[in-house]
Amino acid sequence: MPITLIEHGSLDATATDRPLYYNSGRFVVLESVSSAAIASALDGLALRQRTIANNIANINTPNYRAKRVSFEAELAASVRGGDGHAAATIEASLEPTQLNGNNVNLDTETLSNIDTVLRYQFAARAANGQFTSLRAAMRTN
């Protein structure tokens, strides 16, 4: 079965010396559990940031229920299982509502956003470290 690379040509056959992963319609050759986990964390955190922004945008919308994004437990289980891929889930917040039926709390959203930004920066630095190591390993003299 030939593998077609999207950017720089194609390969004629599958590699036999390492496992290939099929992800989002493409085969991924250089992926480890840690790189998959970092990518899943970045995806989950980006979704959390968008969800927080949406919650804040709807702070005055009657009957709007705040949303919460979770992925950490599934990601931890996936890493323990040797995979590293995890999908984030969005659920309605269980916080009490105001008189207009809205339950968005600006303090909660602000703190959650700060926490999410810090986690995203940490995960982005981890991904950068992996890319730096990969570049150094591929460098030839």
Residue 137 confidence (pLDDT):
77
Q: pTM above 0.95?
A: no
**pLDDT the model gives residue 87:** 93
pLDDT band with cut points at 50, 70 and 90 for residue 140 = low
Q: Are 103 and 59 in contact (CB under 8 A)?
A: no
pLDDT digits (tens, 9 = 90+) for 114-132: 999 999 999 999 988 888 8
- Give 27's pLDDT tier (boundaries 50, 70, 90): low
Span 38-73, pLDDT tens digits? 999 999 999 999 999 999 999 999 999 999 999 999
Cβ atoms of residues 63 and 110 within 8 Å? no
Reply yes or no on whether the pLDDT at 36 is more than 60. yes
* pLDDT at residue number 25: 54
d(CA 106, CA 141): 55
Reported as half-sphere exposure (CB side, CA atoms, 13 A), residue 58 has a value of: 18
| Residue 4 parent element (H or E) | strand 3-4
Work out the pLDDT band at 4, boundaries 50, 70, 90. very low
pLDDT at 10: 36
